Structure 1
């Protein structure tokens, strides 16, 4: 069994860094300190990584094609947890939020 490409591992590492640092998608989450809501219990954080991983696309060479899109969709879910008035557009599809 092969390993994830360096590009995929770098994308995951940076996503985790931005998430923990409170700087994931600064435009969408400006003014929301989402970390207490995500880090208090495992399930919200698990959902964030599930969305990121489900949306992330990789080509046949293992190169990441849409890191920004994957981060944005995860950020939309985070925003919806912190701001009940926020409406996710387009709405999440079942495959995006599926836990594996």
Structure 2
């Protein structure tokens, strides 16, 4: 089995950096310090990475096609956790939030 491409590894690294810094989709999450919510329990952090990994698309050459979309869907999930009045549009589909073993 091969390794993840350099592009995928870079996307994952930057995603983790933005997540830890509190700078994922600054516009959608402006005013929300989500870090205590996400880092409070392992299951919240697990869900964040599941959504990112499920939504991320990679072409045959291992190049990431939609990093911004994957980060935005994560930001929507985080916002919904921090702000009960926020409605995710479009709603999450089951495959987006599925946790894989």
TM over 0.5: yes
Task: List, as ranges, runs of 4+ consecutive aligned residues in structure 1 with deviation greater than 3 Å.
Answer: none
- Report matched runs for 1:16-27 at 5 Å: 16-27=16-27
Q: How does 1:28-39 map to 2 (within 5 A)?
A: 28-39=28-39
Deviations 1:40-81 (A, max 9, x none): 110011000000000000000000000000000000000000
TM-score, L = length of structure 2:
0.98
State whether structure 2 residue 71 is matched by structure 1 residue 71. yes
Post-superposition shift, 1:34? 0.4
Superposed CA RMSD:
0.3
Unaligned runs of 5+ in 1: none
TM-score by length of 1: 0.99
Q: Equivalences for 1:1-100 in 2 at 5 Å? A: 1-100=1-100
Structure 2, unmatched stretches of 5+, are none
Three-state SS of the structure 2 residue aligned to 1:87 is coil
Q: 1:92, CA displacement in angstroms?
A: 0.1
Please give the per-residue CA displacement for 1:5-62, whole angstroms capped at 9, x wherever unaligned: 0000000000000000000000000000000011111001100000000000000000
Aligned pairs, how many? Answer: 100
